[in-house]
Amino acid sequence: MLTVRERVQKYTADEIEEFKSVSTSTIGHFTDFGFIANFNCTVSVTKVYGEVITVKLSSGDGYPLNIALQHAKEGDILVIDASGNKTHACWGEFRARKAEEIGLSAVIVGGAVTDFEYLRRSRIPVFYESFHQRRREI
């Protein structure tokens, strides 16, 4: 079942701008959850900013990503939970091109990506757990 929730504006553009001065290690001093170890990035970047859109995938179905991209706005960060699946890539060149068109700030994939050469050349940083040639159903 696919559930799309209404977008909630939690922070103003000015507040997001203020967050840019906060170090990620400072955030770590105030919380002990929400950090993910062993992530790689397609480019050399340490910080990304923007509102977050989350997607949780199940089985081999990547269709919810298409819906998320339809709702995404410039500056958003797309966070994908692949439900532990690291052998079926849910992000690659096809969706990265759409993300560039939208102007996403970053994509964070709790799972596998593919088309690594394209992702390295993309202007959007992609944080990911693993690389795999096998893809999910579009």
Task: Return the domain boundaries, the chain.
Answer: 50-138
**Three-class SS of residue 79?**
strand
According to CATH, the topology of domain 50-138 is: Glucose Oxidase; domain 1 (3.50.30)
* Residues of each annotated binding site for Mg(2+): 115
* 53 close to 99: Cβ distance less than 8 angstroms: no
What are 82-136's pLDDT values in tens digits? 988 888 899 999 999 999 999 999 999 999 999 999 999 999 999 999 987 665 4
CB atoms inside a 10 Å sphere around CB 121: 11
| CA dihedral of 86, 89, 93, 94, whole degrees rounded to 10 | -150
Report how far residue 43's alpha carbon sits from residue 123's, in angstroms, rounded to the nearest whole number: 9
String of b and e for 63-77 (b: at least 16 CB within 10 Å)? ebbeebbeebeeebb
For the whole model, what pTM was predicted? 0.85
Which pair of structure tokens corresponds to residue 51?
Answer: 């509102």
* Residues of each annotated binding site: 115
